[in-house]
Structure 1
């Protein structure tokens, strides 16, 4: 089934702005105005509306472990029929430990991506908070052994360096990423002094981080809003002669694949595939993914609805860190 969500509230200028901001979320507004042949005032007003009305977030996309989250998993939720999956997803999206909640076809009506500090917190959220939520019949976890690849750009032709992968970074690099995860367009001069380095150093390090694939500051948008209404989770089981790491790496070469994780549990690899039609999804599954050496079996669950939040640095003051980031779309 395809989602009822779409891009009807976005006009041509909005879509062009999103496309440019997905390439570079820090592009100056004056440059955006020049490229789109509109006034800078128009660009600022349009981008502010897109952010304020929950269409987009401009933030750093990076390995969540750099922001203090050491354990991740996809919680597969079986519902008991007493509540609609959409209503249940609305509630689960309010949990501070969730960053991505999907309602899909398939055996699990709701999937909840959890981002936690350690395995104990992950277990407590899944089987304490989620399992006891009215409407939930059962919860199964797919813990991430590695978040292998993230590609948050959907529109346009992607470049070889668009994706984000885990990297070993020093404390200054981590601090820069943490600031940009809160506000992707924050001025470097505003936090250079706080980090004890010069603005020139911040700029140099940021450029190096982007070139290495450790981070991208970009416009994060729900793919359903852009017309990719047949987006889907795809779970893959690897055969006895294959390597889960090799399968995961092969997936990163497919343009419709936006997310890849190596998992433990009943599946070995988890991927997100972003497509605009059933035929396109079928082509990716049959012609591309099934053809990868080592793939023994797969399942796909197409999105009906999606809630997301930007991943912000882990708060240490005991307060819920993501409540202001919830994007209900």
Structure 2
């Protein structure tokens, strides 16, 4: 089995987007399958212009439209966040470029904290994860130490950043749920192209288009999947981002604290992990002042938090996940 079938290109960080592109991204973050005609009406341009702008943003790797879901649905059975320290004689940004070449890594952060770098690794199983750490990450020149924080549970993700900043009580984000094999195959198909026509998905799965539509609606209504425009949040001026690592106080349930964090504005990603910390949470804000307010007023005040450690992002490299495929599947695809 191949370890990981992520896309080869990371999302490109752009200094700024013009007003039309920004509004298009905002609409597609809310609904990645929004028809071009609807986008055109919302922003006051022709359908041809809307279509051209969307395709340009995808081609330039500013955004990717994909299905966001629990990584295990895509075949990733073992994941970890790696905290890396580096030698002073090798810039962290150079090491980050090397980390991006490892297929199993989908997320690299340059940070100013205890760790110079963070890298999220997603693999088929624990053996593959260990091999990646030892034989790929560990061999990069300039890495001084590696601390692995293995994920015990993916808990919450909300990659619609405006919704995360202004979180409604009804916002559930994406969470792991039990689904059947047909639902898994629908999600995997849409992770490759979130705007793929339902008829094409139905043909791939040999079921009716109506069944695909009904199942997709149920998957989105329950927060099992969200088809959105994935974009580097720093391209949308969320320039103050941080990993907040949390230790839970004795007598409190880790799951309860994770649920409380998911309800907070500005949280986009939560995992329950092993190692030095109990919970890893990502926060996105537009300014450092906003980030400080969120942490001081909302996070530190939560009952059950014994200790937290904040790691500020200096740079972020980010790509979507696509499904893992076994060798037999890959061989058949190549012959076709």
TM surpasses 0.5: yes
Equivalent residues of 2:109, 2:119 under 8 A apart: yes
Equivalent residues of 1:7, 1:227 under 8 A apart: no
SS of aligned partner of 1:38 = coil
Structure 1 equivalent of residue 310 of structure 2: 300
Structure 2 equivalent of residue 230 of structure 1: 240
Map residues 99-248 of structure 1 onto 2, 5 A cutoff.
99-155=106-162, 157-159=166-168, 160-161=170-171, 163-248=173-258
Structure 2 equivalent of residue 326 of structure 1: none
Equivalent residues of 2:14, 2:62 under 8 A apart: no
Give 5+ residue unaligned stretches, structure 1.
321-329
Equivalent residues of 2:13, 2:232 under 8 A apart: no
Per-residue deviation, residues 63-99 of structure 1 (Å, max 9, x unmatched):
0100110011101111112321111111101111011
Normalising by structure 1, report the TM-score: 0.93
After superposition, the CA RMSD in angstroms is: 1.6
Q: Distance in 2 between matches of 1:194 and 1:60?
A: 17
Per-residue deviation, residues 275-294 of structure 1 (Å, max 9, x unmatched):
01111111111111111111
Q: Distance in 2 between matches of 1:158 and 1:180?
A: 26
Normalising by structure 2, report the TM-score: 0.91
SS of aligned partner of 1:17 = helix
Structure 1 equivalent of residue 276 of structure 2: 266
Equivalent residues of 1:98, 1:115 under 8 A apart: yes
Per-residue deviation, residues 213-243 of structure 1 (Å, max 9, x unmatched):
0000000111111111111111001111221
SS of aligned partner of 2:269 = strand
Equivalent residues of 1:153, 1:162 under 8 A apart: no
Instruction: Report whether the alignment pairs 1:26 with 2:33.
Output: yes
Deviation at 1:158, TM superposition (A): 4.2
* Equivalent pairs, count: 316
Q: Per the alignment, do residues 25 and 158 of structure 1 end up closer, same or farther by CA in structure 2, a change over 3 Å counting? A: farther
Deviating 4+ runs (over 3 angstroms): 5-9, 156-159
Q: Distance in 1 between matches of 2:140 and 2:329?
A: 21
Deviation at 1:317, TM superposition (A): 2.8
Q: Distance in 2 between matches of 1:185 and 1:83?
A: 41
Q: Distance in 1 between matches of 2:280 and 2:95?
A: 23
Q: Distance in 2 between matches of 1:53 and 1:24?
A: 20
Instruction: Report whether the alignment pairs 1:44 with 2:51.
Output: yes
Give 5+ residue unaligned stretches, structure 2.
1-11, 331-336
Deviation at 1:57, TM superposition (A): 0.8
SS of aligned partner of 2:240 = coil
SS of aligned partner of 1:303 = strand
Q: Distance in 2 between matches of 1:265 and 1:74?
A: 10
